[in-house]
Amino acid sequence: MRRSVFTAVLGVTTLLGIVALVASPRYSAAAQQKSEATEVKIDNFSFGPAALTVPVGTTVTWTNRDDIPHTVVSTDGAFKSKVLDTDDKFSFTFSKAGTYPYFCSIHPKMTAKVIVQ
């Protein structure tokens, strides 16, 4: 009788341990898509890097290191910054996969893209 009680308790304990492990935030899908941060520098009339690949959930921050104002505007309307003076920043979090081309509306020849996977 003791052996069967011990086996039953051991089985329940093991089961509860597995449930706790699977339910742990460390193993949840939300935790696997943890948010990351990445920076794009605006300098010398260009975005650097010109092509940036990031995972879904990443926040990208653009910083204007140029001496003149610039903007960051996606071609599909997903994001649009105000005019950024020297050292101003603009951030956007990419919640969906896709390719997001963007440009400076003041200097339209300045182009780049963020690829979200």
> 75 with 19, same domain?
no
> 23 with 71, same domain?
no
Q: Do the Cβ atoms of 103 and 81 come closer than 8 Å?
A: no
pTM for the whole structure? 0.70
> 18 with 51, same domain?
no
pLDDT score of 28 more than 60: no
The pLDDT of residue 1 is 53
Q: What share of the chain is helix, strand, coil (3-state, %, to 5)?
A: 25, 35, 40
Under the banding of pLDDT at 50, 70 and 90, the label for residue 54 is very high
Residue type, 16: L
> 42 with 85, same domain?
yes
> 23 with 52, same domain?
no
Domain that holds residue 13: 1-32
The total number of structural domains in the chain stands at 2
CATH of the domain at 84: 2.60.40.420
pLDDT digits (tens, 9 = 90+) for 68-100: 999 999 999 999 999 999 999 999 999 999 999
Mean pLDDT of the chain: 81
